[in-house]
């Protein structure tokens, strides 16, 4: 079973990367992304976790894409993990989903809007899997201590916290980088979500906007302020993605950005 120690490359002392498409759109697309990112991470000695949502439960409009089917998407995630020998992660939304997803992935992700949902945190903790809790856009970094403790109290020490921006007005987010050392002080790895932090939610069109041109800037600041890991959603053609295309990174840009981030990490260690 994956433990947090697996995410630390003691040879390179690098950050780890959680990356993949927003949603599993199909097997070939998921394998293409996983294979490309895994190859880059192996060369740069970056521990890698493949991410893909098996279901998109939080959508602005009822007719938005929600997935290709739970079982089908979860089996793709498991197949990717086994084929590339890498850990995988997906988000969960209800207590029964925790036990279901735990059969297929290594890390259970708690969505930001649900980070205070005690029953969901407990259900995730009880699977024994690593639990990655995304900080709510409405929650202070200091308050995330209580979310982490809900998992710890179930006897599960495998906890990560993810910064993903704070609501700024109705249609924007900002990142307070002071939150990274604050949450690291709880004794858990802290991840910076470089793509969702640049969302522009609640657009009148019903489709979330974003500022992907700033992904590299946000990532650099995150590494410089001590983030243990980065979360980057990426896609071969973001404009054609079925979910969150407005703030995903084109996969062709990932290698160059990661190379620069590795140099920053080396400089501050």
Under CATH, which architecture does the 4-268 domain have? Alpha-Beta Barrel (3.20)
Cα distances (angstroms) measured from residue 218 to each of 98, 114, 139, 158, 266:
31, 24, 20, 26, 18
Q: What value does the mean pLDDT take over residues 122-128?
A: 98
Q: What value does the mean pLDDT take over residues 23-39?
A: 96
Please report, for the chain, the start and end positions of each structural domain, with discontinuous segments joined by +.
4-268
Cα distances (angstroms) measured from residue 228 to each of 34, 70, 106, 170, 171:
21, 30, 18, 30, 28
**How confident is residue 241, by pLDDT bands cut at 50, 70 and 90?**
confident
Contact 164, 172 (CB under 8 A): no
pLDDT at 30 over 80: yes
Distance of alpha carbon 213 from the chain centroid: 19
The pTM for the full model equals 0.92
Smallest CA-to-CA distance from 188 within 169, 163, 154 is with 163
Q: How far apart are CA 128 and CA 133, in angstroms?
A: 14
Cα distances (angstroms) measured from residue 101 to each of 73, 110, 144, 236:
10, 12, 23, 26
Q: Treating both helix axes as pointing N-terminal to C-terminal, what angle do 254-268 and 215-224 enclose, rounded to 10 degrees?
A: 20
Q: How far apart are CA 173 and CA 214, in angstroms?
A: 13
Contact 55, 22 (CB under 8 A): no
pLDDT at 101 over 80: yes
Q: How far apart are CA 259 and CA 80, in angstroms?
A: 24
pLDDT of residue 96: 96
Q: What percent of the chain has pLDDT over 90?
A: 77
State the residue for tokens 């657009």.
Answer: 203
**How confident is residue 203, by pLDDT bands cut at 50, 70 and 90?**
low
Contact 211, 3 (CB under 8 A): no
Residue 196: both structure tokens together: 């969702």
């Amino acid at each position: 079973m994956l433990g947090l120690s697996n995410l630390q490359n003691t040879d390179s002392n690098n950050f780890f990367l959680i990356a993949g498409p927003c949603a599993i759109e199909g097997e070939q697309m998921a394998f293409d992304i996983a294979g490309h990112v895994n190859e880059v991470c192996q060369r740069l000695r970056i521990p890698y976790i493949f991410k893909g949502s098996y279901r998109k439960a939080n959508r602005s409009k009822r007719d938005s894409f929600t997935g290709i089917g739970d079982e089908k998407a979860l089996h793709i995630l498991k197949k990717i993990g086994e084929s590339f020998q890498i850990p995988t992660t997906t988000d969960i939304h209800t207590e029964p989903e925790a036990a279901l997803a735990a059969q297929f992935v290594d890390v259970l992700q708690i969505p930001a809007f649900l980070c205070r949902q005690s029953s969901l945190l407990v259900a995730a903790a009880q699977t024994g899997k690593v639990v990655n809790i995304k900080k709510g856009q409405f929650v202070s970094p200091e308050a995330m201590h209580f979310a982490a403790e809900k998992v710890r109290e179930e006897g599960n020490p495998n906890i990560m916290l993810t910064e993903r921006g704070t609501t700024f007005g109705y249609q924007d987010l900002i990142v307070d980088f002071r939150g990274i050392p604050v949450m690291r002080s709880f004794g858990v790895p802290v991840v910076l979500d470089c793509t969702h932090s640049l969302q522009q939610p609640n657009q009148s069109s019903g489709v979330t906007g974003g500022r992907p041109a700033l992904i590299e800037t946000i990532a650099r600041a995150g590494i410089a302020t001590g983030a243990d890991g980065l979360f980057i959603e990426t896609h071969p053609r973001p404009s054609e993605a079925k979910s969150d295309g407005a703030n995903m990174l084109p996969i062709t840009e990932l290698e160059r950005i990661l190379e620069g981030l590795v140099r920053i990490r080396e400089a501050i260690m």
